[in-house]
A and B are shown apart, each in its own frame.
Chain A
């Protein structure tokens, strides 16, 4: 029986241990317990992709991961991709293409892009579209985002 769930896992290379109320999602742990607010909660329903993180190498919706499922897992969030001083080149590509407006979708988009590029360093247009099909953007539109990912892949 547990009043709180104790969960140990790795975030961006660091081992962490949290104690959370039952039914807490990974997205809530990241934002509320660990202060990693780059991961956004949009729909809290698996539909918008704003909460996308990389769990054991795969892009997942962190709003649909229950806290104890993360025990022992390796999680990467947008904070582990680049920093203020040194953007990850895929982030730079988003800037160069003007693929960011309000920015709410951007962390999720970047995580989906990173997961894609690690699996497939040279994706075609259809593969890029498939990879971000679970990420909604309400302001930029998708063309610039697709272009940013493709330019980054082509330029490496």
Chain B
């Protein structure tokens, strides 16, 4: 079968093409997921819509406290951005831990979102930032909170005629402490057995705002609302951190698969949340 390959240089042309081809088209960004799936799952796209020439989607921009990442911004760009470390530190750590330099130079934030992996690293940070995903089609333009955008492994609410154009979130306040950590088989180039990230603000010895997210322990990335609520207003103490980590392990529902077992993942959740909270407290107190 003949294959159509399109590489438009303007977003309007890309939207027009997607409007015409709908779900017959496969969108190509960095290719780090798509090429692997094409080989292993024998996918042979009838139409490939390569976004690579859409320079307008490659930018990191700011408007007051709002930060916008174009869909084609690579993990490497995020990792190297001079300002993001202070504005959304765990996003930078998460991107730094994606794959390897080669994968980070190609892989994009839009691809990480569309891929909707429960182990997606950049996406976990976007859950913590409560980012909104910008979707555009020839006829529509909408923003969807990341937690509503991703619905199941590999499943999103993107419609066949929509392109992910970017994500938007608010920069974190300067007193926010953050963390991101993942555990896998090998440090580089690995799918996590579990990952965790967080943001806390501490004032007058108490946890104020607290956000926690876990990856690879449920069908999608999850936030931990019970633990976040339990921490808010609690005094900062080792006992409070112990209890929060235990609650995180008790409330998550990990799975058994080839990478790991339920029991091990539950243990990892407890360890990662404990370590993360302790690290954030230490960094908030030294600031």
Report which A residues bind B (CB closer than 8 A): 1-3, 5, 22-23, 25, 44-47, 49, 52, 58-61, 63-66, 68-69, 71, 112, 115-116, 130-131, 133-135
Contacts and interface: CB of A to CB of B under 8 A. Distances in A.
Interface in B43-61: 44, 48, 50, 52
Given A47-B189, A68-B50, A69-B31, A61 B5 contact: no
Contacts of B106: 60-61, 64-65
Interface residues of B, number: 28
A5 B2 CA distance: 11
Contact of A23 (B44, B52, B102): B44
Interface string B125-165: 00000000000000000000000000000000000000000
B189 A5 contact: no
Interface string B166-180: 000000000000000
B103 interface: yes
Contacts of B188: 133-134
B7 interface: yes
Contacts of A46: 32, 35-36, 99, 102-103, 189
B3 A22 contact: yes
B7 A134 contact: no
A49 B100 contact: yes
5 contacts: A1-B3, A23-B44, A61-B102, A64-B35, A69-B50
B121 to A, nearest CB: 14
Contacts of B48: 66
- B interface majority secondary structure: mixed
Given A1-B2, A61-B106, A69-B50, A23 B38 contact: yes
B282 interface: no
Interface in B66-121: 76, 99-103, 105-106
B284 interface: no
A92 to B, nearest CB: 23
Leading 7 A-B pairs by shortest Cβ distance: A134-B100, A133-B188, A58-B105, A1-B2, A61-B102, A22-B3, A134-B102
A3 B39 CA distance: 19
Interface in B226-243: none
Given A66-B48, A69-B52, A112 B32 contact: no
- A interface majority secondary structure: mixed
Given A2-B3, A23-B44, A69-B52, A58 B76 contact: yes
Contacts of A52: 102
Contacts of A131: 101
B28 interface: yes
Most chain A CB atoms below 10 A, which of B31, B36, B39: B31
B5 A22 contact: yes
B187 interface: yes
Contacts of B7: 68-69, 71
A59 B103 CA distance: 9
Given A65-B31, A66-B28, A134 B3 contact: no
